[in-house]
Each structure stands twice: as structure tokens, then as C-alpha cells.
């Protein structure tokens, strides 16, 4: 049984222009000790999926409207708020993109880590403080006994993100959700933070759900990846498979935009033509069809569902890769 098992998740937002399905029919699972990357452009529903798991959608605007989220056997979508609160920071933690804004500017980082411990553990002030120093050492902050007194503005960007990670790990969670944890950092720091996450995960056997738009990060740390497009998962596969033999034309397009080292200087960078459809005006068929070179009549009418559970799942009527022809594709050829 996977640690986190999301099935058919649907999260809707009420906006003035109408109700929008920011996340629709998302299937996703994370096992203990596994790193799953959730990849997609901004607005594709990655973060909303994460906030749905933690049930932290903006009150009165966003709500889970369908599907199930099981965490270690417990259904989260119907869990009472008090039980949910006992889970957050304790068994499921989250780290954020911008560490400076995720830390409280007027409190020392030691206070913030100790508070995270004392929220869920019957630890005394002194004990929690000692543990905070310990955690800072574990996330690789030098001279932790002194840094523990520092306020966020006294630390560098990389150190701040380490502090945020220390807070998230304070109660040894089973699942860590990292929402673009390296996007706000410079390249050398990015590599260090990714290394740190990988090490900590291996030590603790946590499940890690890594949200990113950076395929380089995916290749580096993830075991499996799910690609999201306009609120849906379009492809899900082990990272090697995904990079070597993508099945969905969108995934292929994303990968093509990465392979720029073979380009001759002066040529245009490869891109996927067109733009992401507005969630308010979704095409009736495949959301990617208007931009897809392989789209046929069926694609514009019928929305493809994610293929049956297995290691490699794809939501496409005409997936790439020879040999595996769907009935629709055969139909298209016959016509």
C-alpha cells in the first residue's frame, strides 16, 4: 500500500468568472522512501494538488470536490479539521519556494523549530531547543548553537531554506511535500539543497513529493514523475522511461525544449507552439489538442483518460512509441 494514494482528485475554485477545476481527475501515489516529482508549467495545478493533500486551500474559494486522498490508509478528504491539524507538520510536512517569506521575520529560527516540535511532541522548552540545535546541524548549518538564535534576515538564502527544511523535519514526518524548493536559490545552492533533501530522505525513508517545473531537478532526484497539464496528469512514469521514451506529445515537447546543447548557435530554441488553454474555457477534448502536432478529430471531441494503473500511464489517444496502438488510433487509420 503506498504511503500517499490520490485517486480521481478534483479541486475547484470559485472565481468571479465562474467555477474552475484547477485539478481534475488526478491520480498520484507516493511510497515510503520514494521521490515522486510533479512536473508542469505554472498554473498546471501542481501546487493546488499539494495544498489539497494538506487541506490548506483558501477558505471559501477553493475546495476538494471529488476523489479520494488516502494517507497511510486514512482518508484525508473527510478527516475532521482537528485530526488534520494533528497530521500537518507531524506526519506530513511542507517546504516552500521562497524561504524568506516562509519564515516569521520577528522570531528566531530556533524558536520556530522548537515551536514545530512542541506542537506535536510533549517536549519541554529546553528539550525542544536542544533538538532545534540538533536539527540545524543535521540540515548542514555550521555552528548551529549560535545560528539557532539568528533571525531569518541574518541568514543567507541557502541557510534559510535549510532552516525551513529543519522546521519541516522537526517531527520526523513520513511524507515531505517540497513546493519548488530550489527555484528561489542560485544554482550552486540549488545543488546543495537537492543533495540535502536526497540524503535526509534516504536516512529517514520518507516519501517525497517534489513539485517543480525544472526537468533537470526531476532527472537528478526523482524516482518517478507525473507530468501535469491544465489541471490533469497527462503522463506518469519512472523517470528513466519518461526521459528515454515519453509517450505523451506534451512530455516530448517539454523534453525537446531541454535538449538545446545540440543546437547550432543562431537557430530558434525549440518550443511548444500556442499557449495553455484558460481553465475557464477548456476545450471539450484533450486539453493539449490545440497545440498538438499529432491531434486528430477524436482528440478535439473526446477527453483521453489516464491509461490503466501500471508503471507507465499516459492520457493520450495517440501516444508516441510504436507498437502500442490504441483502438482509436486504429480507427483513425481505417478512416
Partner 1 sequence: MSRVWNETGIAQAGPDSALRRTAARALEFGRLVLASRAAVLGLLLLLAVVAVATLGRLWFPGDPWEMGGPPMLWPGEDPAHPLGTDFMGRDLATGLVSGAGVSLLIGLVSTLISAFVGVTIGALAGYYRGWVDAVLLRVIELFQTVPNFVLAVVLVAIFKPSVATAVFAIGIVSWPPTARLVRSEFLQLREREFVLAGRTIGMGHARLILTQILPNALPPVVVVSTLSIAHAIQTEAALAFLGLGDPNVMSWGTIIGIGREQVVDAWYICGLPGVAIIVTVLGFSLLGEGLNDALNPHLRRR
Which single residue is written with the C-alpha cell 536516512?
203
Which of positions 275-294 make contact with partner 1 (CB under 8 A)?
none
Hey, what's the cell of 114?
Answer: 522548537
* Selection from 26, 99, 31, 50 nearest residue 210 by Cα: 50
Distance from C-alpha of 199 to C-alpha of 119, rounded to nearest angstrom: 26
| Residue 11 near residue 63 (C-beta atoms within 8 A) | yes
> Least distance (Å) from partner 1 to the CB of residue 290?
34
- Binding residues for partner 1, how many (CB under 8 A)? 32
> Least distance (Å) from partner 1 to the CB of residue 171?
8
Cβ closer to partner 1: 150 or 329? Answer: 150
DSSP code string of 20-51 = EEEEEEEEEEE-TT-EEEEE--TTSSHHHHHH
Query: Is 149 a binder of partner 1 (CB under 8 A)?
Result: yes
Looking at 91-231, which runs of residues are DSSP E strands? Answer: 92-95, 175-179, 207-212, 224-229
Distances, alpha carbon 45 to alpha carbons 13, 25, 32, 281, 327, in Å? 11, 11, 23, 16, 30
Query: Segment near partner 1 (CB under 8 A), from 160-168, 212-220, 232-240, 268-276?
Result: 160-168
User: In this chain, which of 88, 121, 204, 300 binds partner 1, going by CB under 8 A?
Assistant: 88
* Selection from 193, 242, 219, 204 nearest residue 32 by Cα: 204
> Least distance (Å) from partner 1 to the CB of residue 168?
8
| Residue 152 near residue 176 (C-beta atoms within 8 A) | no
Query: Segment near partner 1 (CB under 8 A), from 9-17, 83-91, 134-142, 230-238?
Result: 83-91
Query: Is 89 a binder of partner 1 (CB under 8 A)?
Result: yes
> Least distance (Å) from partner 1 to the CB of residue 324?
41
Cβ closer to partner 1: 79 or 328? Answer: 79
> Least distance (Å) from partner 1 to the CB of residue 287?
29
Query: Segment near partner 1 (CB under 8 A), from 162-170, 185-193, 225-233, 284-292?
Result: 162-170
User: In this chain, which of 8, 15, 19, 56 binds partner 1, going by CB under 8 A?
Assistant: 56
Cβ closer to partner 1: 48 or 54? Answer: 54
Query: Is 154 a binder of partner 1 (CB under 8 A)?
Result: no
Cβ closer to partner 1: 100 or 191? Answer: 100
Measure the CA dihedral 297/302/305/307, to 10°: -40
Q: Does the CA dihedral 321-322-327-331 come out positive or negative?
A: positive
Q: Does the CA dihedral 150-153-155-157 come out positive or negative?
A: positive
Which of positions 94-133 make contact with partner 1 (CB under 8 A)?
94, 96, 98, 101-107, 115-116, 119-120
- Complete edge-to-edge strand list for the sheet that includes strand 18-30: 18-30, 4-15, 62-71, 74-75
Query: Is 167 a binder of partner 1 (CB under 8 A)?
Result: yes
State the residues that interact with partner 1 by CB under 8 A: 54, 56, 60, 85-90, 93-94, 96, 98, 101-107, 115-116, 119-120, 143, 145-146, 149, 164, 167-168, 170
Amino acid at each position: 500500500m503506498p504511503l500517499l494514494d490520490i485517486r480521481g482528485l478534483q479541486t475547484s475554485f470559485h472565481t468571479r468568472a465562474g467555477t474552475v477545476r484547477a485539478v481534475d481527475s488526478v491520480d498520484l501515489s507516493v511510497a515510503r522512501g520514494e521521490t515522486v516529482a510533479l512536473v508542469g508549467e505554472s498554473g498546471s495545478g501542481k501546487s493546488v494538488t499539494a495544498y489539497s493533500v494538506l487541506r490548506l486551500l483558501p477558505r471559501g474559494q477553493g475546495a476538494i470536490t471529488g476523489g479520494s486522498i488516502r494517507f497511510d490508509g486514512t482518508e484525508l478528504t473527510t478527516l475532521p479539521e482537528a485530526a488534520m491539524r494533528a497530521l500537518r507538520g507531524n506526519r506530513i510536512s511542507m517546504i516552500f519556494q521562497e524561504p524568506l517569506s516562509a519564515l516569521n521575520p520577528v522570531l528566531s529560527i530556533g524558536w520556530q523549530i522548537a515551536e514545530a516540535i512542541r506542537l506535536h511532541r510533549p517536549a519541554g522548552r529546553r528539550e525542544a531547543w536542544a533538538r532545534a540545535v540538533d536539527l540545524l546541524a543535521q540540515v548542514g548549518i555550521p555552528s548551529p548553537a549560535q545560528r539557532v538564535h539568528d533571525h531569518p534576515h541574518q541568514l543567507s538564502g541557502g541557510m534559510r531554506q535549510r532552516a525551513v527544511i529543519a522546521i519541516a523535519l522537526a517531527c520526523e514526518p513520513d511524507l515531505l511535500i517540497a513546493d519548488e524548493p530550489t527555484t528561489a536559490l542560485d544554482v550552486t545552492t540549488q545543488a546543495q539543497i537537492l543533495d540535502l533533501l536526497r540524503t535526509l530522505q534516504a536516512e529517514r525513508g520518507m516519501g517525497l513529493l517534489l513539485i517543480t517545473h525544472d526537468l533537470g531537478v526531476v532527472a537528478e532526484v526523482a524516482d518517478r514523475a507525473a507530468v501535469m497539464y491544465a489541471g490533469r496528469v497527462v503522463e506518469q512514469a519512472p523517470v528513466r522511461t519518461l526521459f528515454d521514451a515519453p509517450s505523451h506529445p506534451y512530455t516530448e515537447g517539454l523534453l525537446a525544449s531541454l535538449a538545446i546543447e545540440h543546437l547550432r548557435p543562431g537557430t530558434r530554441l525549440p518550443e511548444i507552439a500556442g499557449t495553455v488553454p484558460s481553465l475557464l474555457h477548456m476545450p471539450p477534448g484533450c486539453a493539449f489538442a490545440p497545440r498538438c502536432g499529432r491531434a486528430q478529430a477524436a482528440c478535439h471531441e473526446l477527453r483521453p483518460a489516464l491509461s490503466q494503473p501500471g508503471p507507465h500511464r499516459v492520457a493520450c489517444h495517440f501516444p508516441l512509441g510504436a507498437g502500442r496502438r490504441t483502438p482509436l488510433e486504429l480507427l483513425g487509420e481505417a478512416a
